[in-house]
Amino acid sequence: MKTILVTGGCGYIGSHTIVDLIEHGFHVISIDDNSCSTDIALIGIEKITGKKIKNYKVDLKDYNDTRAVFQENENIIGIIHFAAYKAVGESVEKPLSYYENNIFGLINLLKCVEEFKVPHFVFSSSCTVYGNPDFIPVTENSPIKEAESPYGATKQMGERIIKDFSFVVKNTSCILLRYFNPVGAHPSSFIGELPIGKPMNLVPAITQTAIGKLPKMFVHGNDYDTRDGSCVRDYIHVCDIANAHTLGLQYLIQQKNTSRCDVFNLGTGNGVTVLEAIKTFEKVSGVKLNYEIGNRRAGDVVAIYANNELAIEKLNWKIKYNLDTMMKTAWDWELRLKAEDDLLKQQSLLN
Ligand code: WQD
């Protein structure tokens, strides 16, 4: 059976993309070493789709283990590569682990793509490749400036590696999807973002503070040159991001010219400040958030949001979710996690 391999399939965007792929008729397997995730996502995927996903608990930095997955699954027609470390602030503190994990993993995977002649490769890239843009919104042709963090640098290098690879490996077509800020959760609340340890990204920090897991959160700076002093981002629902991956794969499958490498921005085109995101959360959840203005965070870009016209036109991408729904689904997911924690505590008290 024709198979799509999703690396990082137990992760936030990977799990939502697997759901979308299944809903569009694809058979999917996953590689995820669970260094930044757990198998809980696979349970959620099964609840939503009724499908059990096979996950190979393999570290992509181990070439032989990675290659063995391809030997066992000869009919992989496409790969969607998510598996990478992705926290901007953390990458500033641990650059070597980011370069080792994100670059070595990609190279091992591409070696297998070449050996096993996988025809289609979709890469999870990021708007961080633009650095601090001089003009916004950014288009796919906006200058690639100095990355503001090692995370962004690994995405810039990843894109260059894939472009050079697709130039020589004629039977593989590639697509680079530059996400802006994926947030929210599947409307079923069966899958969502599960940060391990203290959340570094804004929305899980908001929902964990609101639910009481964190005593308060800090806004990393309100003295930037923006409309309210806090940083501007293009928040986009994770299900819209997931659907863009399915559309990207279908786009590659339909294209005749195989040795291609297309780039698309995946954002809503709306810039939202941190303080506006917090206000929207408070509106949809009815919870007053306990936050303080803190220092700026190293690696932060001041303002960025997408010109997304190319993805809408070429991939026939339709954005379904607005900021209210992004915050509402994120909150519903956090509420579900708490309900399950409370149930587990009650059961442990009874046992
Ligand atoms: C957003 C804003 C923070 C936490 C993310 C992903 C990265 C890439 C791009 C896909 C910043 C502020 C945050 C907090 C805060 N996506 N913030 N208090 O850094 O834009 O990067 O999107 O590839 O993978 O990490 O997202 O959510 O960390 O920060 O004030 O407790 O929220 O300073 O201005 P970022 P983020």
pLDDT tens per residue, range 39-97 = 899 999 999 999 999 999 999 999 999 999 999 999 999 999 999 998 888 899 999 99
Instruction: Decide if 285 contacts 331 (C-beta within 8 A).
Output: yes
Domain for residue 134, yes or no?
Answer: yes
Section 28-36 average pLDDT:
95
| One-character DSSP codes across 102-152 | IIIHHHHHHHHHHHTT--EEEEEEEGGGG-S-SSSSB-TTS-----SSHHH
Give the number of the atom of ligand 1 that is nearest the alpha carbon of residue 205: 31
Q: Which residue lies with its CA nearest to atom 13 of ligand 1?
A: 202
219 lines ligand 1 (CB under 6 A): yes
| Dist. CA 2 → ligand 1 center (Å) | 36
Mutate to test the pocket of ligand 1, among 16, 193, 202 (most ligand atoms within 8 A of CB): 202
Q: Which of 198, 220, 281, 305 to mutate to test the pocket of ligand 1 (most atoms within 8 A of CB)?
A: 220
Q: Which of 119-123, 190-194, 254-258 has the lowest mean pLDDT?
A: 254-258
Q: What pLDDT score was predicted for residue 36?
A: 86
Pocket lining: 274 vs ligand 1, CB cutoff 6 Å: yes
> Ligand 1 centre and the CA of 267: distance in Å?
14
Q: Tell me the CA–centroid distance for residue 239 and ligand 1, in Å.
A: 18
3-state secondary structure of 66: helix
Is 171 among the domain residues? Answer: yes
Q: Is residue 140 part of a domain?
A: yes
Split into its structural domains, the chain has a count of 1
Q: Where are the alpha helices (DSSP H) in 222-262?
A: 238-254
Determine if ligand 1 sits within 6 Å of the CB of residue 120.
no
Structural domain harbouring 168: 3-185+236-267+305-320
| CA nearest ligand 1 atom 26, residue | 201
pLDDT tens for each residue of 181-232: 999 999 999 999 988 788 889 999 999 999 999 999 999 999 999 999 999 9
Q: Atom 32, ligand 1: which residue's CA is nearest?
A: 202
Within a domain: 155 = yes
Q: Let me know how many helices (H) and strands (E) the chain has, helices first.
A: 12, 13
CB count, 10 Å around CB of 335? Answer: 15
- Cis before residue 137, ω within 30 degrees of 0? yes
- Structure pTM? 0.95
Separation of 256 CA from ligand 1 center, angstroms?
Answer: 38
Task: Report the range of poorest mean pLDDT among 227-231, 295-299, 334-338, 341-345.
Answer: 341-345
Residue nearest to atom 14 of ligand 1 (CA): 202
CATH label of the domain that carries residue 146 = 3.40.50.720
* 130 in active site: no
Q: Which of 85, 98, 130, 151 is catalytic?
A: 151
- What's the pLDDT score for residue 170? 87
pLDDT at 139: 98
Separation of CA 115 and ligand 1 centre (Å): 37
Q: At CA 285, angle to CA 281 and CA 291, rounded to 5? A: 50
C-alpha 205 – ligand 1 centre gap (Å): 10
In single-letter form, the type of residue at position 300 comes to: D
Please work out whether the CB of residue 86 comes within 6 Å of at least one atom of ligand 1: yes
88 pocket-lining for ligand 1 (C-beta < 6 Å): yes
Q: Taking 80 as the threshold, does the pLDDT of residue 256 lie above it? A: no
User: Could you tell me if residue 29 is inside a domain?
Assistant: yes
In our burial notation (b when 16+ CB lie closer than 10 A, e otherwise), range 291-300 reads beeeeebebb
The conformational region for residue 101 under phi > 0 = left, psi -120 to 50 = alpha, else beta, is alpha
Ligand 1 within 6 A of CB of 178: no
351 part of a folded domain: no
Identify the CA nearest to 191 among candidates 346, 314, 52, 39.
Answer: 39
